[in-house]
Amino acid sequence: MPTYVVHYAEIGLKGRNRSDFELCLAENIRTQHPAVQKVRRLRGRMVVEAEAGIDLRGVFGIAWWAEVDQVPSDLGAIREAVLRAVPQATTDGVRTFAIRVVQGDRVLAMTSQEVETELGAAVQAEIPLEVDLSAPDLTIFVEILRRNTFIYTEKFGGPRGLPVGASGKMMGLFSAGIDSAVATYLMAKRGARIELVHFYALPNGKIAHERKVGGLARRLLAYLPQLTIHYLPYHAFQLATADLPVQLRRQELVVFRRFMARAAARLAVEHGALGLFSGDNLGQVASQTLENLAAVDAAIQMPLFRPLISYDKQEIIDLGEQLGIFEIAKRPYKDCCSIIARHPATVAKPDRIEAIESMIGLEELLASVLAERESVRLESAAPLVERWLDPEDLRETAVH
Ligand code: ATP
Ligand code: MG
């Protein structure tokens, strides 16, 4: 059964809450990898046993991990495991090696350096390798804890960050474009449990889900234990603003942005989320001037985080490509924001915004749009579980 040692990123710094963070990470490892049979918490690390090989690159909170040989912590057993590790690793021209010993617990009456020397000599007695401590071809890592010792030769980098769920819940404004997809990844990386709100211009939420949003969400699920998406229709807003006088037209987009933020804030309160986030970026498009972003914030009573505020487009695309989400995110899609205004105002005008909002009957419009919501929950267990929810199910999530 493959066994892994997992070292955490910042969890180590969390003092009193450390145990909560560890439990959250352990649960995410299980949920995201159904092959996992057992997760044990040891001092400052975890041991994971799985019935098949797993790749932990998608579990936030992990600094690095290694597949290990696990043996009892006595020198004889450790020596044998080290010797086992060498031939496996010397197939492709390995000439030099080093042993790195870390003693998490003091069980051998020797310093780590003495153990390294002893194990190094044992290797050299069997195999003609030279010791090179600065740039060895092969490093054999030996992590000695009270009961067990872990031997490994390769470390894999994790995504770092905090375990999803450790920082509470956030409601994201998700357009299915690259910016809000990358923003979702970044907020999850800081430990936020995520729910998303998507406004569609298609006939219904299920079609929007099938057309694009669901496909992108499934990719993001590589980094999340679960994801809920709320679909809200854009049509009612479109109808309500159909007859706006020309002099108000250019403020319509910022009014819609405020409308989306308000709807998301309502859902956030309902579901226990303390903040919103979006893929906004300062100055990237006309609607993202500081004036317009501020006008959106002024419409709601909770923080709206914008993790991409300082990124440039290429940085966002590069990250999206690295995450395997760019291909889907750039696919064409009927996008409500592009329907609205070809030339939106760059400066929000509070009096005009107010005029539009009173003209369209904001409160009733909001209530009717929220009443038409369709919600789906995706769980990252394999095979993927995707379940459309009724309001009862949503009440359950709010309690969590
Ligand atoms: P993205 O790549 O995320 O679509 P963008 O650069 O295209 O962003 P806009 O389309 O102006 O910029 O949208 C800015 C932000 O507003 C988005 O990142 C998203 O958070 C939110 N947003 C836009 N359209 C929608 C929508 N249809 N549903 C939910 N949120 C949306
Ligand atoms: Mg967009």
Q: What is the 3-state secondary structure (H, E, C) of 288-341?
A: HCHHHHHHHHCCCCCCEECCCCCCCHHHHHHHHHHCCCHHHHCCCCCCHHHHHC
> What's the token pair of residue 11?
């969890």
User: Average pLDDT in the 139-154 region?
Assistant: 96
Q: Whose CA is nearest to atom 17 of ligand 1?
A: 279
| Tens digits of residue pLDDT in 229-281 | 999 999 999 999 999 998 899 999 999 999 999 999 999 999 999 999 999 99
Which ligand lies nearest the alpha carbon of 313?
A: 1
Distance 335 CA to ligand 2 centre (A): 7
Q: Is the pLDDT of residue 67 over 90?
A: yes
Which ligand lies nearest the alpha carbon of 175?
A: 1
Q: What is the pLDDT of residue 387?
A: 84
| Tens digits of residue pLDDT in 76-126 | 999 999 999 987 666 667 889 999 999 988 899 999 999 999 999 999 999
The number of beta carbons lying within 10 Å of the beta carbon of residue 262 is 21
Q: What percent of the chain has pLDDT over 70?
A: 94
Q: Is the pLDDT of residue 127 over 70?
A: yes
With a 6 Å cutoff on the Cβ, whether 279 touches ligand 1 is yes
Which ligand lies nearest the alpha carbon of 259?
A: 1
Q: How far is CA 168 from the centre of its chain?
A: 13
Q: Closest Cα partner for 198 from 185, 182, 212, 219? A: 212
Distance 338 CA to ligand 2 centre (A): 8
Which ligand lies nearest the alpha carbon of 234?
A: 1
Q: Is the pLDDT of residue 338 over 80?
A: no
pTM of the predicted protein model: 0.92
User: Would you place residue 316 in the very low, low, confident or very high pLDDT band (cuts 50, 70, 90)?
Assistant: very high
With a 6 Å cutoff on the Cβ, whether 162 touches ligand 1 is no
With a 6 Å cutoff on the Cβ, whether 232 touches ligand 1 is no
Minimum mean pLDDT among 84-98, 106-120, 337-351, 382-396: which range? 382-396
Q: Whose CA is nearest to atom 7 of ligand 1?
A: 177
User: Which helix (H) or strand (E) covers residue 36, if one does?
Assistant: strand 36-42
Pocket test for ligand 1, best of 180, 211, 277, 326 (most atoms within 8 A of CB): 180
Distance 191 CA to ligand 1 centre (A): 22
Q: Is the pLDDT of residue 398 over 50?
A: no
C-alpha dist (Å) from residue 153 to 44, 90, 156: 20, 11, 10
Atom of ligand 1 nearest to the CA of 287: 11
User: Would you place residue 400 in the very low, low, confident or very high pLDDT band (cuts 50, 70, 90)?
Assistant: very low
Rounded Cα gap, residues 43 and 64, in angstroms: 16
Q: What is the pLDDT of residue 353?
A: 95
With a 6 Å cutoff on the Cβ, whether 212 touches ligand 1 is no
| Tens digits of residue pLDDT in 214-228 | 999 999 999 999 999
